[in-house]
Amino acid sequence: MTDTEFETEQRSRIHALAPPAGTAGALYLNRTARRVFDQDCEFLRTPRNRSNIDVYLTDMLQPYDLRPDADRLAAGTGQSYGEMALALIGDTVDEPVDLLVLAFAVPDVWPGRATATYLSAVCPGQPMAFAICDQGSAAAFTGLRLVREYVVSGACRRALLVVVEQATLHYPSSGSAPVPDRHAGVALLCTNEPGAAVSRRWDPVRISTAVTPEQAPAVLATRVAEQRGPLTLVAGAGLDPATLPDTVPVRTAPAGQPYTGAWWELSGMLDASGAVMLADYDPVLGYLCTAYCGVE
């Protein structure tokens, strides 16, 4: 291959974007998939990989006077977001997508991997891909928000949001942020035009900051009240069920899925539901997030 031929081939893979210049469209929810991963990942079955992860974790933990849990690492417990997302891509994507956003709170068992970039190579369309983290349960909402901004601004047409959580830390957890009970993931394929039998359109995601646990019920009640028409509230694990609004039907996230729970529930109810408001609260970081998906 000549230099010119090589660069021509590379150019076909490049995502060239103009700066945002207003909104030109809408974002629709086209398809979803959800999976629980009962098995541990393939990646940690390889002794060399476990050894590399031990080195990484040992160095990362040293300033915190922590050590990796050698037994747990030797057992190869935990899941890889690359393996989980690969399965979810297979469940949702059959046409090229332009953008892939991976959202997570709990670290991957392969901490140094640029997983989103890897996924760009295995996802149809070789999308621009990146990850959002360090925001607790709000990371998935930020991911959806970014998907929406890239699509409605015309930068992308089809985008995949992948929300994942895995349940194993190879060292003692610190702080009060919850660790999941199981490995789970949800994928949402979103497009700039309705493609499903029922046309489901996302409103702008709303993220409130510095919300105290005492304030969260009232903030959520206001969000629900502001929305005209009937809806089902899908409440994530960070919201206290006893404080949820009683003015609308409510579905709560399954136990043990603090970061994917609301998205899991959404994925399971789409066929039979009308408008949905997705909501979650991160009591550690103070984010209260809502995303309204209406039916046209």
Partner 1 sequence: MTTLEAVATYLPATRTPIADLAEVLGLTPMQVTLFDRFNGLRDVGWDNEASLLDLLVAATERLTALRGNEHRVRYVLHARAFAVVVPFAHNPLHELTHRLGLGHAEAFTVTQQSCATGLLAIDIAGRLLAADGDSEALALVLAGEKAFTRDSRLLPETSVFSEGASACLVAANGPRDRLLSYASLPRGDFDSDDAAEVAARFQRDYRGCLSAVMEAATAQAGLRMEDITLVLPHNVNMVSWRRVCKRMNFPVARVFLDNVARAGHVFCADAFINYQSAREQGMLRPGDRYLIAAAGAGFGATFSAMVFEH
Residues 207-266 that bind partner 1 (CB under 8 A): 207, 209-210
**Site for partner 1 contains 26 (CB under 8 A):** no
Residue 111 or 230 having the CB closest to partner 1: 111
**Site for partner 1 contains 190 (CB under 8 A):** no
**Site for partner 1 contains 24 (CB under 8 A):** no
Window 158 to 187, contacts with partner 1 (CB under 8 A): 169, 171, 173-177, 179
Contact window for partner 1 (CB under 8 A) among 26-34, 101-109, 213-221, 224-232: 101-109
- The minimum distance between CB 144 and partner 1, in angstroms, equals 13
> Could you give the CA distance from residue 120 to residue 84 in angstroms, rounded to a whole number?
14
Cβ-count burial 108-122 (b if 16+ within 10 Å, e if not): bbbeeeebbebbbee
Residues 6 or more apart in contact with residue 97 via CB below 8 angstroms: 123, 124, 125, 127, 158, 159, 160, 189
> Could you give the CA distance from residue 263 to residue 238 in angstroms, rounded to a whole number?
13
- The minimum distance between CB 19 and partner 1, in angstroms, equals 5
**Site for partner 1 contains 281 (CB under 8 A):** no
Torsion (CA) 276, 277, 281, 286 in degrees, nearest 10: 160
**Site for partner 1 contains 27 (CB under 8 A):** no
- In this structure, are residues 41 and 109 in contact, taking their beta carbons and an 8 Å threshold? yes
Residue 23 or 222 having the CB closest to partner 1: 23
The terminus-to-terminus CA distance of the chain in angstroms comes to: 50
Contact window for partner 1 (CB under 8 A) among 189-197, 205-213, 217-225, 236-244: 205-213
Window 116 to 135, contacts with partner 1 (CB under 8 A): 116-122, 126-135
Window 60 to 89, contacts with partner 1 (CB under 8 A): 60-61, 63-64, 66
Among 25, 124, 204, 217, binds partner 1 (CB under 8 A): 204
- The minimum distance between CB 44 and partner 1, in angstroms, equals 14
Residues 6 or more apart in contact with residue 70 via CB below 8 angstroms: 54
- The minimum distance between CB 271 and partner 1, in angstroms, equals 30
- The minimum distance between CB 151 and partner 1, in angstroms, equals 11
How many CB atoms are closer than 10 A to CB 103?
A: 28
Q: Is 197 exposed, middle or buried (0-12, 13-18, 19+ CB in 10 A)?
A: exposed
**Site for partner 1 contains 144 (CB under 8 A):** no
- Reading the block at residue 130, the tokens are 């990146």
- In this structure, are residues 264 and 186 in contact, taking their beta carbons and an 8 Å threshold? yes
Residue 124 or 195 having the CB closest to partner 1: 124
- The minimum distance between CB 86 and partner 1, in angstroms, equals 11
Contact window for partner 1 (CB under 8 A) among 83-91, 143-151, 192-200, 212-220: 143-151
Helix extents (H) in 157-255: 216-226
> Could you give the CA distance from residue 113 to residue 121 in angstroms, rounded to a whole number?
14
Residue 79 or 232 having the CB closest to partner 1: 79
